[in-house]
Structure 1
């Protein structure tokens, strides 16, 4: 697939270096055209087009500043994409001509190799859910649900969600809160994840993260959240924390100091997927809500490719839900019992579901 993404501006960057007596070529161009899209696994043919009088000694080819290959002629090169993360890639040819060298660059966008497999769901059990909880994060550990409830006690003008944010420990069978920690009235709580005997909680735009003792909910410390534009979802794979920030990017955070250590960008075979929200790590894959959507996505945590998609629109249609309910959000995994739970913001029900092939 080589459709052009029109929102990307074609740009050729020429950087010339060398002695004053050397006259590097400035008319060279590079293909593919900036913004061209490729599906992962498809080789990209990169070609530098030189003037007829060019005297090129060698060309070094780089992807995102990392050397891939080099040639001592002006022929095109084929770059493999099988193992690359998805998203925008800068392709650079560094040309050497005598004592001078210069660079010419373009960019491509790498999409998922194929369309996501479409799954459906089976409802295995239904539990009560507290309608006061504007669910922003959901976890299941040691027989209990842990839930982050978002809201402002003194809401700013643009906010439509009032009520003080909190962290809750919830009895699955009854939906009742058995332990609660209230947040600062001026912050909006977002995603949570469990790391050992600690619970990590983000805030929406306040750039603050909280660390709690999982058993007592005692606040152990706070930290400055600087990784993403906003604090959204969290998940933990035993080694690193995954974090969404309102975009199509999933950030990797260090589990000890919460600084960014990497990222992936989420794409299907056609486009980037924005507003990736609440996360859960299940058997080597990331499961994600998409804000204002009824879809749950299964994402490859190494590349960002959407592997599977589940349309949850028939789980609990808006016309059947309780008054005051909002969108689908909240995924929790019982690793021991192999149970999957989903709910929504201020829903009166939490569902145990199983994803199956159509």
Structure 2
């Protein structure tokens, strides 16, 4: 990721368009001049998962209509014939944005009013700090985008045009044992290991590559039609980030999308999700340009924990000028499942750190 430029522009623009559309449709005049609107919920209301929320519409001059059918997304929830407020449940709804529709029927005609709600995580995440167990040497030319531990070695995917590659690295010495360089026009991104293959993304080049893990020979080049950021493998499917608050699920054999989750804590969406790792049934993700790793429930996208890694490597002390410091932020998570070792890295950092996480 290069500075703050990696933004999911299309998703942001679409979201703005939807909100503007909702705003205009929430206050309607029917063909008879009757003013109708949602009293609640207001557009964009945040509701914690598991909580009920109030729903009420204003019918205007009419004291009664034939019926009002309420839908969440496209699913009918309840029908009423008066203006009294009702409570709708969030149980079973995915985290994220949901469209609320009141379909008003009267005299053989109908009209729709719309609003929306955001479902947040049910509770605040647990907070963690860290203890450094060991420091392992790392090549300071490696702009880390993806990091994996496998069979006693680190595998790295690095970025920057002209310097992007795939590497196999000696844990104890930091020496690069194998390398596959990308074309100098490409900006490499996250990697993950799937059996005897390595899958690697590019940032904005709409390309992904598959390599033989043993030989580093490229065996496939794929079209990848979104920004490439982080990757992980949970044993069944590939997990992919694109800098938004969405984690996409990809088929491990054909690399096509098969699902997704949106990531929220109890207050807001968590954007800038970057490098990923799957550890003991949870998704760990770097939050780009921060010192935070979030721990995510893969079933619903709820942030269950936050690890504060402030101070683990004083970039400002090591790189004395802004030019040298660049964008050398925390990025890279790897896990040794057999020995329960957690490793974290940063772009062009001189060390990879083995850490233990501690609850605050």
Tell me the TM-score range normalised by the shorter chain.
0.7 to 0.9
Summarize the alignment of residues 122-137 of structure 1 with structure 2, pairs less than 5 Å apart: 122-137=131-146
Q: Distance in 1 between matches of 2:86 and 2:164?
A: 55
Q: Distance in 1 between matches of 2:63 and 2:255?
A: 51
1:91/1:106 contact within 8 Å kept: yes
Q: Please, which runs of 5 or more residues in structure 1 have no aligned partner?
A: 1-6, 17-21, 154-163
1:28 is aligned to 36
Q: Please, which runs of 5 or more residues in structure 2 have no aligned partner?
A: 1-15
TM-score normalized by structure 1? Answer: 0.86
Structure 1 position 102, deviation (Å): 2.2
2:120 is aligned to 111
SS at 2:124 equivalent: coil
Structure 1 position 195, deviation (Å): 1.7
1:12/1:104 contact within 8 Å kept: no
SS at 2:345 equivalent: strand
1:182 paired with 2:181, answer yes
Deviation per residue, 1:210-263 (Å, 9 max, x gap): 11111211111111111x3x1101111122222111222222222222222322
1:257 paired with 2:269, answer no
1:14/1:102 contact within 8 Å kept: no
1:141/1:334 contact within 8 Å kept: yes
Which is worse superposed, 112-121 or 289-298? 112-121
Structure 1 position 107, deviation (Å): 1.1
Summarize the alignment of residues 318-337 of structure 1 with structure 2, pairs less than 5 Å apart: 318-321=315-318, 324=324, 326-337=328-339
SS at 2:189 equivalent: strand
1:236 paired with 2:233, answer yes
2:25 is aligned to 13
Structure 1 position 24, deviation (Å): 7.7
Q: Cα gap change, 1:67/1:171 in structure 2, threshold over 3 Å: closer, same or farther?
A: farther
Structure 1 position 15, deviation (Å): 12
TM-score normalized by structure 2? Answer: 0.86
Q: Distance in 1 between matches of 2:193 and 2:215?
A: 13
Higher helix proportion? 2
Equivalent residue in structure 2 for 1:300, among 297, 302, 315? 297
Q: Distance in 1 between matches of 2:78 and 2:189?
A: 44
2:207 is aligned to 208
2:35/2:59 contact within 8 Å kept: yes
2:153 is aligned to 144
2:306 is aligned to 309
1:158 is aligned to none
1:133/1:345 contact within 8 Å kept: yes
Equivalent residue in structure 1 for 2:85, among 76, 80, 85? 76
Summarize the alignment of residues 220-235 of structure 1 with structure 2, pairs less than 5 Å apart: 220-226=219-225, 228=226, 230-235=227-232
SS at 1:11 equivalent: helix
Equivalent residue in structure 1 for 2:341, among 339, 342, 347? 339
Q: Once superposed, what is the RMSD of the aligned Cα atoms?
A: 2.4
